[in-house]
Chains A and B, each alone.
Chain A
Amino acid sequence: MASLAAVIVLSLAGCSTDEPVTGPSGGPPSTGAGTGEQSKFFVSADYEAELAMLGATATGPAGKPWEQVLNPTMVDTASFKKAGPHKICFSNAALNNPWRQVGFKTMQAEVETHRDKIAEFVHVDAEGKDQKQIADINDLLGKDCDALIVSPNTTATLTPAVEAACRTGVPVIVFDRGVDTTCPVTYINPIGGYGFGHVGAEFVAQKMKPGGKVLALRILPGVDVLETRWSAAKLVFDRAKVDVVGVEFTDGDPAKTKKIVDDYLQRYGTIDGIWMDAGAVAVAAVEAFQDAGKPVPPINGEDQLDFLRMWKDQKLTAIAPTYPTYQWRTPIIAALRILDGEQVSNPWKLPQPTITEQNLDEYLDPDMPPLHYAMCGCTGLPGYPQRWK
């Protein structure tokens, strides 16, 4: 059944279907869980599109990826043209993790660079609650905002609130997580989860010793952005016939992560590759190998500085796909362009750079705190580095 599902999914995805996709053939039989059935969040068309974008060249100013667009499709915004200075409102899903903290500080700094054009920037934090965000958006609609930026907490639940905002005629800009409506002027986000998961898995599959064992560490099931990362990685591992000995959920808890990795080291003696759907606990995973006195296998993390520093200091075989925090700059830039009547791309797909051995040094900033995200595009913004500490 599992293999049948995998074959169907692979054929939908247009991948090589003439290969058996379950378990390593020829090698020793898989002792682990394998990769299991494909996620029900998997959409093969989106997957194909994201993988294609990984190789695409972005248009826009060089060295400013937050202004660049992949495969632009410009939309007319002349009807929103308005004389400044403007009042820009932002309904934020949450500030409850370091990624969103770094992102929001970056956005505030971006606002500061446009002091002449932005008279007022209103921010409302929904604290991770759908109901609060629906109420927040409703409140903001009565506050004469010239543009409304929304970072939705969940896709389906926030859709009606965003649609209601569109109906008032205010230009709406959605970024990070999406909504199920085309009414916003533009939807801004990087390539996405498939690209993230694919890059990490390709690296691990290529760098590990042939026939080795991979442990996949996921934060939690059922979240679309994380499910897409895993579903892309699963396809890579299935295709490369990698022996995935376990797929475990860490809840983003470093202690739990260390225990899981330690357990797998006890059970299999060695683990030859670690794939992660998010970098938050990458350092804990590496520490588990160090504390057990085992060599650290090829691993993917993310662009958080604690991991990048460990990568450099310990000379790890590592890669860091990113979900860049510089995307928090783009909604402000988009809002001002829309209010100037300039064309913007919809969707606005941002490049999603990967940190590798070659460019690692560019992102290592000794002055920044360990949980800072290096791909913030914020080094040139006002208040750097103090604002982000």
Chain B
Amino acid sequence: MQDTLPRRALPVRAGGPLPILAILGVLLVLVAIRQPDFLAPASLMSFLGRSAPIILLAAGQYFVIVSGEFDLSVGSLVTAEVVIAARLIDGDPDRTWPVMALVLVSAAFVGLVNGLITSWLRVPSFITTLGMLLILVGAVYLWSDGSPKGELSEQFRRFGRRAVEDVPVLGRVPYALLIVLLLAVLATVLMRSDFGRILVAVGDNPRAAELSGVRVGRTRTIAFVLSGCAAGVAAILLGGYSGVSFQAGSGLEFSAITAVVLGGVALGGGRGSVAGAMLGALTLELLFALMNFFGVSGTVRPAVQGAIILLAVAVSAARSPSR
């Protein structure tokens, strides 16, 4: 499909996970110097467990970004799902499973709506998902009178909070980590399938993809649904980790986009791997942990995130030949 347009060869295979692995390696060395205890199994496991939601959101955001779109709605979708789940469960363990299913289905549905509006109504995804963000915030605010009600059951919370105990060597392995590993494998398999190749091709050059028979709109819609599903799972893990709050998902869309960009995925689509995006999220979280070890105040986080986005996109633009 790609040979319909002449392209210059890139100096390094762009979008591969190598650069992000190098950054991650450097950060790990710095952590090992500054805070060797952090690399002990117990604290490392706890770190990986609490990083699980953002890793999932980065994977979801990857599908959308690599296909050439954006999904700004995931943060508020997470908040909405956590608040809805708490109100519906209201502390009753018997409602855990139905509500969990509802969370996943409704999150996928929101992704579907994003995809349909973007693909068929031809609204730019930046606007579609910004609108969805505002709609979700407003709807949750209206529905809950401005403050969350109810309570998540312990059964719901265990996925984000509890762990498999007494594992040899590792100690506690958080459920959240196992869920992320499983979904990471699934995402990688998916990206190696025909669908994955088509998704990247759509992001690389939608016109060329369309001319070679790809249904661009449908492919992008599926990407939005995948992002919605990731937000649903992230909501379950995050709600489990910290309980119900109105801030549950605030700002996560930007963290996810930062992670994806850091992971070597080109904004605008067509380049990058899902593994890179997930490693990008892990790297971002490790960077913030490292900043804490060096005594940098947490309030500079947004600034660091912004700088990473600008830097990563600038580097990526400098490396790519102009089309």
Contact = CB atoms under 8 A, between A and B. Distances in A.
Interface stretch (A71-79, A225-233, A235-243, A259-267): A259-267
B15 to A, nearest CB: 30
A264 to B, nearest CB: 8
A33 interface: yes
A370 interface: yes
Given A262-B46, A266-B35, A266-B37, A371 B145 contact: no
Interface stretch (B95-103, B183-191, B245-253, B304-312): B245-253
Nearest to B298: A248
A369 B147 CA distance: 12
A33 B292 CA distance: 11
B242 A254 contact: yes
B242 A258 contact: yes
Contact of B146 (A101, A252, A293): A101
Contacts of B148: 98, 371
B216 interface: no
A156 interface: no
A262 B297 CA distance: 15
Contacts of B150: 369
Contacts of B151: 306, 369-370
Contacts of B289: 263, 266
Contact of A248 (B42, B247, B297): B297
Question: Which secondary structure dominates where chain A touches chain B?
Answer: helix
A291 B247 contact: no
Size range of the interface on B? 20 to 34
A204 B296 CA distance: 25
Interface in B68-102: 91
A121 interface: no
Given A249-B299, A259-B50, A266-B38, A369 B293 contact: no
Interface in B29-65: 35, 37-38, 42-43, 46-47, 50
A170 interface: no
B295 interface: yes
B159 interface: no
Given A369-B151, A371-B148, A251 B161 contact: no
Interface residues of A, number: 40
Interface in A301-350: 306
Contacts of B47: 262, 266
Contacts of A264: 292
Most chain A C-beta atoms within 10 Å of own C-beta, residue among B38, B146, B151:
B146
Interface in B236-294: 238, 241-243, 245, 247-248, 250, 289, 292-293
Contacts of A33: 295, 297
B230 to A, nearest CB: 17
Contacts of B43: 266
Given A101-B147, A258-B50, A258-B242, A267 B248 contact: no
Contacts of A94: 146
A97 B146 contact: yes
Interface string A268-310: 0100000000001101100100011100000000000010000
B37 A252 contact: no
Contacts of B91: 370
A257 B248 CA distance: 11
B157 to A, nearest CB: 10
B247 A251 contact: yes
Interface string A208-221: 00000000000001
A361 interface: no
A101 B145 contact: yes
Contacts of A306: 151
A98 B298 contact: no
Interface in B113-154: 141, 145-151
A256 B50 contact: no
B46 A292 contact: yes
Contacts of A248: 297-298
A95 interface: yes
A96 interface: yes
A230 to B, nearest CB: 14
A96 B147 contact: yes
Given A248-B298, A266-B43, A254 B243 contact: yes
Contact of A262 (B50, B243, B299): B50
Contacts of A256: 247, 298
Contact of A255 (B35, B147, B241, B299): B241
Contact of A258 (B141, B241, B295, B298): B241
Contacts of B241: 255, 258
A269 B146 CA distance: 38
Contacts of B147: 95-98, 100-101, 371
Contacts of A263: 289, 292-293
Contacts of A252: 245, 247
A292 B147 CA distance: 29
Nearest to A101: B147
A267 B161 contact: no
A281 B42 CA distance: 24
A368 to B, nearest CB: 11
A255 B242 CA distance: 5
A373 B260 CA distance: 41
Most chain A C-beta atoms within 10 Å of own C-beta, residue among B38, B42, B148, B298:
B298
28 contacts: A33-B295, A95-B147, A96-B141, A98-B147, A98-B148, A100-B147, A248-B298, A251-B250, A253-B247, A253-B250, A254-B243, A255-B238, A255-B241, A255-B245, A255-B247, A258-B241, A259-B50, A262-B46, A262-B50, A263-B292, A263-B293, A264-B292, A266-B37, A267-B35, A269-B37, A287-B161, A287-B242, A287-B243
Interface of B: 35, 37-38, 42-43, 46-47, 50, 91, 141, 145-151, 161, 238, 241-243, 245, 247-248, 250, 289, 292-293, 295, 297-299
Interface of A: 32-33, 94-98, 100-101, 221, 248-249, 251-260, 262-264, 266-267, 269, 280-281, 283-284, 287, 291-293, 306, 369-371
Q: Which 8 A-B pairs have the closest CB atoms?
A: A253-B247, A254-B242, A255-B242, A96-B146, A98-B147, A263-B292, A254-B245, A101-B147
Given A97-B146, A266-B37, A284-B242, 4 more contacts: A253-B245, A258-B242, A264-B292, A280-B245
